[in-house]
Amino acid sequence: MNTTHENWGSRLGFILATAGSAIGLGNIWKFPYIAGENGGAAFIIIYLGIVFTIGLSVMLAEIAIGRSAQTDAINAFRKIGKPGWTFVGVLAVITAVIILSFYSVVAGWCIAYIVKSAGGTFSGMDAEAIGGSFGAFIGSPVAPIVYHGIFAAVTITIVIGGVSGGIEKTSKFLMPLFFVILVALVARSVTLPGAEKGLEFFLAPDFSKISAHTVMAALGQAFFSLSLGMAILLTFGSYVDRQTNIGKSVVQIAFLDTLVAILAGLAILPAVFAFGMDPAAGPGLTFVTLPTVFNSMPGGYFFAIIFFVLLTIAALTSSISILEPVVAFFTNMGLSRKTATIGSGVVIFLLGIPSSLSVGIWSDIHFIKGQGFLDSASWLTDKLMLPVGGMLICIFTGWVIAPIAIREVSGDGEPGVLTKAWMFILRYVAPIAILLILLSGLEILKF
């Protein structure tokens, strides 16, 4: 076992890196559309309530376990003295591996779109032509894998640099740049003629749309947006020093993540509505609809490039965070960081190749629910592995190691009202909420 353990160089580095892990592609293309379809500001109010109760509680639980154990996600449960729960860490790390394998493929598409936008590939094209170009690109057996490889190589290079010298240093540079670009896009979008329709779609409260389905949508988005259940927060927590107030830190991280989601809505939806486009969710919005919008927008050439730079940054800050738990385990087992990072990164890259080919020449090969490899991997992690992992973290923290967790959060003092409320949410509220997410995702319950 490796007896040395790295630490964050500063509290700011920890907050920015952890926020970066939560701020990913889902914040940019998924949140705006879900909010608009589920009551706009009314949905956002519900979402905020869930983020700062259930979401924040699970986040704090993972970080508390990590700081207490001061080791990787798999060995943490042994270090705390509960080896029978090691399977929770194993599940979380496997989940991270699967997610990063297909996440890197989609991130590669973002890099490709920087190149295509800069080269004027979409100039003069309408939505149908851009859609055809997108389909031809992702269906290629070579080009998407090359970009997937480029993205994986950048991720590996950063993580090799270590916690302070690689992840923290990169996050301190990329996160401020990310916000500058996002704010510039918001300023351009909201000042377009006709942008008010998009603002109304996103921000006007429509309480008539609030239903059980709306609450479930907010629960699911909050849970998955905060990087819960995939060993990131547990691993990052192990790098936090004893002087850091982790309760205060998680509030700031959740705030940054939510701020990005709302700014993304202000950057995308006003522009989409200003040009009469359909704000369809998913890859179509990002890779077909928005390039069409940029073609019609004054200065669109420039804004297209910076938008896909923004997406790539969001993907990169998440990917380095997802790879780190895997690397942390192998370094604690005695491998050098360089060997562990390159080895893990290459394996994950190879696992991503079937995801890339599944939207092209392997599209006829079906797995879960008749879906291709990429969609099956996404379904398996989103609908099953992440909720199960999150629920087990709640049960473990709230019922098995409650005294240890309380000491971590209260600074060895007497638990206050907020700490007691946190325990109540972990023991009773969060497990039930996550169980509903799981049952809904598996279509056992329908809302």
**pLDDT, tens digit (0-9, with 9 covering 90-100), for 209-253:** 888 888 888 888 888 888 888 999 999 999 999 889 999 999 999
Output the pLDDT for position 227.
85
DSSP 55: I
**Residue 364 pLDDT > 90:** yes
CA distance 185 to 313: 15
Mean pLDDT, residues 338-351: 98
DSSP 3-state of 80 = helix
Give the number of residues written for the chain: 447
* Kind plus residue range of the DSSP H or E element containing 234: helix 232-237
pLDDT digits 0-9 by tens, 139-151:
999 999 999 999 9
**Residue 28 pLDDT > 90:** no
| Paired tokens of 405 | 């967790």
pLDDT digits 0-9 by tens, 391-420:
999 999 999 999 999 999 987 667 789 999
Global pTM?
Answer: 0.94
Output the pLDDT for position 29.
77
Output the pLDDT for position 359.
94
Question: What Cα–Cα distance (Å) separates residue 322 from each residue in 143, 158, 205, 334?
Answer: 24, 12, 35, 20
